């Protein structure tokens, strides 16, 4: 597509529930990144995919967080047993590849609220 698409744009869930956040990157971009942004702060890295594999998941806060990209395009970030501290904006971005000379294109984000 023309840009990075994230769905849903907003998600309200109860504490303890499971949620899935979807990211559809720019066609042809092999690198896909997930970031989390808390209120008033800059985004923080969560996980990076090169193709289908998670090349770096060092930013995932704990084992309740998991992400997949089974066909090397769309990615899903999954959060189990949600906690109120998980409330944030989850941003997805794609890049042509992992070469740092290439810039990013971000999606509009999913605002997750855990009540």
Partner 1 sequence: KQEVTQIPAALSVPEGENLVLNCSFTDSAIYNLQWFRQDPGKGLTSLLLIQSSQREQTSGRLNASLDKSSGRSTLYIAASQPGDSATYLCAVPNAGNMLTFGGGTRLMVKP
Minimum distance from residue 107 beta carbon to partner 1 (Å): 5
Residue 43 has which token pair? 């985004």
Burial class of residue 64 in the structure, from the number of CB atoms within 10 Å of its CB (0-12 exposed, 13-18 middle, 19+ buried) = middle
Query: x/- string (CB under 8 A) for partner 1, residues 60-89?
Result: ------------------------------
Burial 104-115 (b: 16+ CB within 10 A, else e): ebebebbebebe
Q: Does 100 help bind partner 1 (rule: CB under 8 A)? A: yes
Q: Does 35 help bind partner 1 (rule: CB under 8 A)? A: yes
Q: Please, what sign has the CA dihedral across residues 112, 86, 74, 49?
A: positive
- Residues in contact with partner 1, counted by CB under 8 A, come to a total of 31
* Binding stretches for partner 1 (CB under 8 A): 4, 6, 31, 33, 35, 40-45, 48, 55-56, 59, 91, 93, 95, 98-109, 111
């Amino acid at each position: 597509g023309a840009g990075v698409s994230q769905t849903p744009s907003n998600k309200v869930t109860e504490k303890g529930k499971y949620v899935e956040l979807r990211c559809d990157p720019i066609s042809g971009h092999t690198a896909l990144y997930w970031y989390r942004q808390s209120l008033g702060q800059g985004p923080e890295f969560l996980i990076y995919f090169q193709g289908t594999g998670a090349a770096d998941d060092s930013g995932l806060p704990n084992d309740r967080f998991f992400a997949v990209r089974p066909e090397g395009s769309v990615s899903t970030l999954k959060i189990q047993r949600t906690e109120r501290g998980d409330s944030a904006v989850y941003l997805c971005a794609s890049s042509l590849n992992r070469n740092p000379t290439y810039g990013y294109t971000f999606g509009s984000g999913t605002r997750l609220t855990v009540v």
